[in-house]
Chain A
Amino acid sequence: MKVLLLARYVLVECSRRRVFIVVPILSAAFLGLYWFAVARVFATSEFSSVPGPFDERLVVASTMLGLGLFGSFFLGVVLIVFLTFTVARGDAEQGLLQPVVVRPLGRRTFLVGRFLGAAAVSMLYVMLIFACCVLITRGISGWSPDNVVQPALELGAAVVIIGALTLLGSVFLATIANGVTALMLFGTGLVAGLIGQIGEALDSPTLEGISRFISWALPFEALYQSGLASLTEDISGLSGFLIRLGPFGGAQESGPGLYAWTVAYLVAIGLVTIWSFRRRDL
């Protein structure tokens, strides 16, 4: 299977290219900082020993894990953008593409193979970093969410959607332009999420509508929000209310159609990418 062969070469590339040495170093730095932040918060906060209207430790721990989820998401996005932003036009301009695509494999196979490799690496990476954040939070605070698998998978899927959009961009845009566009799309999604949280806090249907529209147009944001929400879905009462008011509260739940929409979205982006790449002169 040439698709799997090409996907495997992405894994080999990640293990050999000097630039990818930066990834474990930065990941270790992020996890170290995360551990330090959580440890300091719990060491310096004065939690009441008398049960109050809400569980202070729970609010702090879940908010910090929300931060961990965001950090994992950001690192995963940077990785998948880096793995996909040159695949078509960038690699063609460098002459890396031509020797491969003239082999009897078809441009579709080439794109799918490269995408699968990048998606597999990035999904595993982002889930591993998130799992480390869960373990760190649990080790320091004693709390971990009931549902860890769902947010991890949603995080992975969100990263894959950004990879698919970046791959599409790589057919039309030069390397730097595509990288900038991908990161701006990521930023747009995050802003949409914040608008939604503000809209909910202010009870503004207009802001909520804008946020919902962007979240569906860029479903990685809806998946990220859904992941945040599922981290704390088991926390009820005033504690749950306070967590959802916070910056990592995951105010925007997208409902049961999100997964079907994610699959349809990926298929549609994939078809447009393949169709455009087939028509392109290299």
Chain B
Amino acid sequence: MGAAFVAESLSKNYKSVRALDGVNFEVAEGELFGLLGPNGAGKSTLVKIGCGLVHPSGGRAEVCGAPAGTRAANARLGYLAELFRFPGWLTADEVLVLHQRLSDSDGGTRERAELLELIDLSRAADRRVETMSKGMQQRLGIAQALVGSPRLLILDEPTSALDPAGRRIIRALLEELKGRRVSVLLNSHLLSEVELVCDRVAIILAGRIVSEGTPDSLRAGSGVEVETDSGVKHFPDAVRDEIPAIVDRLVADGARIYEVRTTRRSLEDVYLEAVEGQTG
């Protein structure tokens, strides 16, 4: 099986502003790939190119082997935009009917019922969108993106309008999608969320990918902390194997050791280091 999404030397200029500058990455079949970056880094431009909403200035993007933006690519794609609305005069079920017809889905009533169940909106099937809370509309947006069983799901800030319970539903949904081998390109500000669910992560800054890998590999090299009678000593570049040597050296210097621990960086630390490294 080929990659679900490919970005190759992708660039985008908005007049004099370079939003993307030679971006390369792939999302494998069944992989959950997280995109991180500050506002204006180029994340939304990148996912919009993937959906065919924005035309690249250079390079190429492919969805399941088809050029992004073509009907063949869009037929395999589900998309939740960061800012979206459904017509307020449609009910939740009618929104899904419309998208079933537009995406040639033959799932019928059963698919709609399953999707509404999945995002805990079964009881709101006949409610008009204009009477729904923002969180309910956000969940309906996710159900809409899943219409037609897409092979690649592009989610742009899917939890931005959700409360903790809603976020938990989405996390469970992402885990389930992983089980179904659906590829997901997740664009999110919520680092903890990305850390929990993503197989691989890329940090994008000023239109370039500055760091990419599994959450574990990005967090590697976390450092060692030793609590002594004269305070806590930090060894930020040390790894676990170096602990005996560090303890020996401190004891030789006359220190009394109370506790030794490896410090584990969070993805947030990695992200902030990357951002500060670029902007600082």
Contact = CB atoms under 8 A, between A and B. Distances in A.
Interface of A: 2, 5, 9, 12-13, 16-17, 94-96, 98-106, 279, 281-282
A104 B103 contact: yes
A274 B85 CA distance: 23
A5 B79 contact: no
A95 B71 contact: no
11 contacts: A13-B89, A16-B89, A94-B85, A95-B85, A98-B51, A98-B81, A99-B81, A101-B53, A104-B104, A281-B53, A281-B54
Contact of B102 (A5, A281, A282): A5
A277 to B, nearest CB: 12
Contact of A96 (B87, B102, B103): B87
A281 B95 CA distance: 24
A98 B53 contact: yes
A51 to B, nearest CB: 58
Interface of B: 48, 51-55, 71-72, 74-75, 77, 79, 81, 83-87, 89, 98-99, 101-104, 141, 144
Given A13-B87, A96-B85, A103 B102 contact: yes
Contacts of B81: 95, 98-99
A104 B55 CA distance: 17
Contacts of A95: 81, 83-85
Nearest to B72: A104
Given A13-B87, A13-B89, A282 B53 contact: yes
Contacts of A12: 89
B71 A105 contact: yes
A279 B56 CA distance: 11
A282 B48 contact: yes
A2 B54 CA distance: 23
A216 B211 CA distance: 60
A16 B128 CA distance: 11
A12 B77 CA distance: 27
